Amino acid sequence: MTFRAFLPTFTAVKKCLAVILLVAYILSGNEIREVMKLPVLLQHYQEHRQLDAGISFTKFLIDHYNDIPHTDNDEERDNQLPFKRVDTNILTSPVLPATFTVALKKPVIPIVSDDPHPKNDNLIPSASISKIWQPPKSGRIIIA
């Protein structure tokens, strides 16, 4: 069988996987809670339409989402509208605060040297380590 035979199935799997990943991404964010409140926005607009039949949806949005408080005595209901207030569950800081200090038990004395490449006299060379850097041998077996 060729790849063309599997192409329709592969395309369907890709679309299904894309939908699953998109739904998982949307549901993982905090904004989905606000999007789920859209029916409350429409219901509250209908409530205002019953009080004032001439109010448009844009006028309703301007009245409820600008900085000037409106006086319709339903503040509790207004706070249920989507994107009306910020509810953040996660606040993380990847850095330590400036007041964070580390107290060492022993003082650390820096070693100052004029030689940029100090010699290490305590190093014992190993024969097995130096074999790594040898060029490859021919296919002959050498018995030592």
| 44-75 confidence digits (pLDDT tens) | 999 989 988 999 999 888 888 886 777 778 88
| 73-127 confidence digits (pLDDT tens) | 888 888 888 877 765 555 555 665 667 677 777 777 777 767 777 676 676 667 7
DSSP string, the chain: --HHHHHHHHHHHHHHHHHHHHHHHHHHSTHHHHHTTHHHHHHHHHHHHHH-TT--HHHHHHHHHSSSPP-SS-HHHHTTSTTSS--------SS--TT-----SS-------S-SS---TT----HHHHGGGSPPP-SS----
